[in-house]
Amino acid sequence: MKILILKFLQFVLLLIFYGRYTIAEKTTQEAKKTYIVHMDKFNMPKSFSDHLSWYDSSLKSVSDSEEMLYTYNHVAHEFSIRLTFQEAETLSKQLGILYVMPEVRYELHTTRTPQFLGLDKATTLFPASKQQSQVVIRVLDTGVWPELQSLDDTGLGPVLSGWKGKCEIGTNFNSSSCNRKLVGARFFTNGYFLVEIEGPEQKYDSAAKKGLQMLLDSDLPTLEVNFLVLQKPNWCALNCVGK
């Protein structure tokens, strides 16, 4: 009798364990994550007039409710989106989609990036010439302080006439915060606000706070930026057109 009871209890425990595992697995499969969808622009069907329409149609084929977070149109042709694992798998099998990659969160590795990368020898990297002033350097940052001496634009010429960047307005940061050295600053937070973050709530509504894309004129004899790192929130590493 005792053996039968023990076997019955073992069977019940096995059912409970299996049920919890199945529920946990299903929850994991249904949880939404941010993915970067890399498109092959040369395979865009002729029925679409532009790439954005193609992206949107591809997305709607797997999810009617989700909207693109950002689209990337320079260097690579991609868009970012929140999907379940199954939706991402289905999307990755469509014609014209090269890969669907889950986002990667980068943790702080250094507070002295130029030295860490061996870029602190400005005289050898940027020999004195007019050509160097025709380049715009883009960096990902955790916040910018326009009042830093290293961002002083004294003695610099006008911003390149072909420059199409912008200085995005946010808390304690407006368009006048940019100058001829700091020629542009934007923050990209759509993905961040869709993720449940543990700990105290933080606001990333300004280029003066964490979550910044900063652009600098390349005439950098005094630039000493010690806080160039990839950190939360989600980053826009390419030129972006946000919804």
Each residue's pLDDT, cut to its tens digit, for the chain (243 residues) gives: 566 666 666 665 666 655 554 444 444 447 888 899 999 988 888 888 888 889 888 888 888 777 888 888 877 888 888 999 999 999 999 888 998 999 887 776 666 666 766 666 655 555 555 555 566 666 666 677 778 887 888 888 888 777 777 888 877 788 888 888 888 888 777 766 666 554 445 554 555 554 444 555 444 333 333 333 223 333 333 333 333
> Residue 171's pLDDT is what?
77
Q: What is the CATH number of the domain that holds 75?
A: 3.30.70.80
Identify whether the C-beta of residue 179 lies closer than 8 Å to the C-beta of residue 158. no
State whether 215 and 181 are in the same domain.
yes
What DSSP line would sit under 31-65, residue for residue?
S-EEEEEEE-GGG--TT-SSHHHHHHHHHHTT-SS
Rounded CA separation 189/36 (Å):
15
> Residue 242's pLDDT is what?
38
Domain presence at residue 66 = yes
Domain presence at residue 196 = yes
Which domain-ending residue is among 56, 80, 102? 102
In DSSP terms, 185 is beta-bridged to 167, 214
**Tokens 């606000």 sit at which residue?**
193
State whether 126 and 62 are in the same domain.
no
The pTM assigned to this predicted structure is 0.51
Rounded CA separation 174/32 (Å):
34
Rounded CA separation 78/68 (Å):
10
State whether 94 and 138 are in the same domain.
no
State whether 82 and 144 are in the same domain.
no
156 is in which domain, residue-wise? Answer: 106-243
> Residue 218's pLDDT is what?
44
State whether 131 and 241 are in the same domain.
yes
